[in-house]
C-alpha cells in the first residue's frame, strides 16, 4: 500500500478486517515482520519436519506409490516449482524489513478479525514463518501473537483437500495412533503449527469445509499417483497397466474416510471455547474435536458426486465416534462439549428418523 500516513491509518482496519491466505500470497502477507528469514531457509537441507523421511530406503521389487514414499523436499519443490529461480533472481539486490516495516505490518495484522486459509502454502514458507513466532514488537517491548484478535478461522474445501492429499502423498499408510498427534516419521504440515502459534486461544468460530469428493477429484487423485515412484514398475505394477489403475482407485475410499481427520490433527481439538463447524461431511471420519459447540453438516445430496452410499448404521457410527471417541484424550475432550448439532444426518429420505433414534438410544445407554 502506497499512500499518506493519515489515509493509511484510516483505511488499514477496513482493509485487513478479513484476510485470505493462499499459496501465492502467504509469503508477501507476512513480509515486513522481523526477523525476516534469509532466502536460503526456504530450501535449506535441515528441517525438523524433513529429516526422518528423506532417507532413500531400498524397497525390494516395485518402487511405485505407496511402496515408494515421496520425500517431503521433493513435494516442496513441486508446490513451488518456480520458487528457486525467483529467489536467485533477487540475490545481490535484496530488500530487508526494518523496525518500521515490522511495526506497520504487526499493526496491520492486529486488525484481522476473520482469517481464511484458501489454499495450502508451501512447507518452506510456513516453516520459515514459524521460526519467529510469537513475534516481537519493539515499539511495545514485548512478544505478541501475530494475529492477536482473530475471531473466526475458516479452512476452505480447497485447503482441506490439498493438505489431505499432500499427507496421503507422503504418508500413505497411517496407523490408528497417528490421529492422536505426530509420530516419528509422520508428517504434520507446518501451516498447522503456524496457526496454533499465531492465533488467540479464544476464537469465536472455527469453520472447516470438507471437499466434495466428486469424479474430478477422484481423477486427480489417481492421476497424481498412478506413475509416482522411482525407476520403472514391472509386471502388473507398471504405471500404465490396468491393474495399476485399479490398485490406485482402491485407495480412494480409505483416503476419503481417514486422511482429512489425520491431516488436520491437532488443530480442531485445540480451541475449547469455540464454536467448531464442520461442513460437507459424508463418509469421511471427523477429526479430533473440542469446543463449546460442535456443529456437523452432512452432505445433502451425495448422489451427484463420487461418494458411495452409506448405511444408517455407518452414519450412526460416524456420530457416535464423535460423541464417544475410542482414545481417552479425545474422549475427555468430547465430554467438555456443551452442545452437539448434527444437520442433514439422516440417510436416504430420512422420514423415519432412523439415525436420530439409534443415536439417542446408544448415547443414553452410554
Report, as ranges of residue numbers, the positions in the chain whose pLDDT lies below 70: 1-4, 8, 34-96, 131-142, 172-187, 228-240, 287, 301-307, 350, 366
pLDDT of residue 307: 66
CA gap 88, 82 in Å, rounded: 10
pLDDT given at position 131: 63
- pLDDT at residue 275, as a whole number: 96
Name the nearest CA neighbour of 19 among 141, 81, 111, 144: 111
pLDDT in tens, 165-175: 888 877 766 54
Q: Tell me the per-residue pLDDT of 3-41, one tens digit each, with 9 for 90 and over.
A: 667 776 777 788 899 999 998 888 888 887 765 433 333
Q: What are the distances in angstroms from CA 356 to CA 277, 347, 353, 361?
A: 19, 10, 5, 9
pTM for this model (two decimals): 0.78
Q: Which are the contacts of 172, defined by CB distance < 8 A and separation ≥ 6?
A: 65, 66, 69, 251
Amino acid at each position: 500500500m502506497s499512500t499518506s500516513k493519515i489515509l493509511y491509518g484510516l483505511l488499514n482496519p477496513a482493509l485487513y478486517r478479513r484476510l485470505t491466505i493462499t499459496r501465492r500470497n502467504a509469503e508477501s502477507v507476512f513480509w515486513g515482520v522481523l526477523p525476516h528469514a534469509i532466502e536460503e531457509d526456504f530450501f535449506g537441507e535441515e528441517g525438523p519436519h524433513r529429516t526422518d523421511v528423506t532417507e532413500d530406503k531400498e524397497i525390494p521389487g516395485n518402487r511405485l506409490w505407496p511402496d515408494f514414499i515421496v520425500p517431503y523436499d521433493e513435494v516442496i519443490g513441486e508446490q513451488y516449482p518456480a520458487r528457486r529461480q525467483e529467489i536467485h533472481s533477487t540475490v545481490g539486490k535484496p530488500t530487508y524489513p526494518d523496525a518500521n516495516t515490522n511495526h506497520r505490518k504487526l499493526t496491520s495484522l492486529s486488525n484481522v478479525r476473520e482469517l481464511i486459509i484458501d489454499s495450502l502454502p508451501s512447507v518452506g514458507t510456513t516453516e520459515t514463518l514459524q521460526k519467529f513466532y510469537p513475534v516481537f514488537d519493539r515499539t511495545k517491548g514485548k512478544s505478541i501473537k501475530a494475529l492477536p484478535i482473530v475471531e473466526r478461522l475458516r479452512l476452505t474445501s480447497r485447503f482441506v483437500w490439498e493438505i489431505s492429499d499432500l499427507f496421503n502423498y507422503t504418508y500413505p499408510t497411517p496407523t490408528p495412533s497417528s490421529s492422536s498427534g505426530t509420530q516419528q516419521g509422520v508428517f504434520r504440515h507446518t501451516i498447522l503449527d503456524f496457526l496454533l502459534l499465531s492465533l488467540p486461544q479464544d476464537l469465536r468460530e472455527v469453520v472447516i469445509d470438507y471437499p466434495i469428493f466428486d469424479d474430478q477429484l477422484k481423477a486427480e487423485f489417481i492421476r497424481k499417483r498412478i506413475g509416482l515412484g522411482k525407476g520403472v514398475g514391472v509386471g502388473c505394477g507398471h504405471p500404465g497397466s490396468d491393474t495399476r489403475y485399479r490398485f490406485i482407485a482402491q485407495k480412494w475410499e480409505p483416503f476419503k474416510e481417514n486422511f482429512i481427520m489425520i491431516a488436520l490433527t491437532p488443530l480442531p481439538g485445540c480451541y475449547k471455547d469455540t464454536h467448531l463447524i464442520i461442513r460437507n461431511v459424508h463418509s469421511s471420519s471427523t477429526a479430533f474435536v473440542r469446543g463449546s459447540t460442535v456443529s456437523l453438516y452432512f452432505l445433502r445430496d451425495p448422489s451427484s458426486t463420487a461418494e458411495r452410499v452409506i448405511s444408517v448404521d455407518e452414519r450412526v457410527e460416524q456420530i457416535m465416534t464423535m460423541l464417544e471417541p475410542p482414545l481417552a484424550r479425545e474422549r475427555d475432550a468430547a465430554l467438555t462439549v456443551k452442545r452437539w448439532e448434527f444437520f442433514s444426518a439422516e440417510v436416504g429420505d430420512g422420514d423415519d428418523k432412523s439415525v436420530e433414534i439409534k443415536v439417542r438410544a446408544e448415547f443414553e445407554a452410554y
